[in-house]
Amino acid sequence: MAQCSVSRSSNSPSLYKATLDDIPAIKSMVNSAYSKYIERIGRSPAPMTEDWEQEMKVHEVMMLKDTDQTVGSFDFHVDDQTNSLKINNVVVDAGAQGRGYGYWMMKHAETEAQKRGLSSVTLFTNDFKDIDDQK
């Protein structure tokens, strides 16, 4: 797999499995990135209401660091019904957006899916079809 081109420091970003100590950083990134959508969809996007402690129990939650700064996070699990690696959320810190970190995390997910013998990567997005029914 080709290397990702990311505009960042000279050190490569690194991933590590999130711990309970990372929950405040995840919540901060999620709230900063998604709060702008609340008015548009009429509710908080799913990642903003997520129980991250529970999420860590049932899915893999990864943190992305670059030069000792947390710049992103994503969580995923194997979806047996679709034979895919399903990403529930991918978020880049508001101050680090536009530098290729989201791309880097998605490329990592693709590599992880290949290692696990999965046919694809799927990404969860908010479902807007029932918004009018909820208002």
Does 135 score more than 90 pLDDT?
A: no
Output the pLDDT for position 3: 38
Output the pLDDT for position 4: 40
- Starting at the earlier edge strand, list the strands of the sheet with 69-79: 14-17, 60-66, 69-79, 84-92, 120-123
Does 86 score more than 60 pLDDT?
A: yes
Q: Which domains, and CATH codes, for the chain?
A: 14-123 (3.40.630.30)
The DSSP result for 52-63, as a single string, is HHHHHHHSEEEE
Output the pLDDT for position 2: 35
Output the pLDDT for position 126: 67
Average pLDDT of span 46-53: 93
Does 77 score more than 50 pLDDT?
A: yes
